[in-house]
Amino acid sequence: NAGVMQNPRHLVRRRGQEARLRCSPMKGHSHVYWYRQLPEEGLKFMVYLQKENIIDESGMPKERFSAEFPKEGPSILRIQQVVRGDSAAYFCASSPRQPGQGNSPLHFGNGTRLTVT
């Protein structure tokens, strides 16, 4: 059973370009989460999606950032007009249930490291 797959592992973009990060959850998992990790800040929640629905995007900046989890295909985190401050590791995680239900653990991918030059 394949784990959570993220690609690309590394992404370099120049300021002003778009970054598109992809995540395929574990088989049978319909709950997807995106987190951003910076060394001094730890793992910060960005957005929680279920198939075709954004459930909670309160951790995601309102401008330039968007996320989707279509009926078919991977979840996508899109960052438009990237700036240097967007450089970070972005992790996707999936679970079969909501975090508040049955102590559901998160299964993480190995992240996409975005560098904005």
Tell me if 33 contacts another protein by CB under 8 A: yes
- Residue with structure tokens 């995007």? 57
- In angstroms, give the least distance from the CB of 74 to another protein: 16
- In angstroms, give the least distance from the CB of 42 to another protein: 4
Tell me if 70 contacts another protein by CB under 8 A: no
Binds another protein (CB under 8 A): choice among 8, 56, 70, 81: 56
Binds another protein (CB under 8 A): choice among 8, 16, 61, 105: 105
- Burial track 17-55 (b if 16+ CB lie within 10 A, e otherwise): eebebbbbbbeebebbbbbbeeeeeeeebbbbbeeeeee
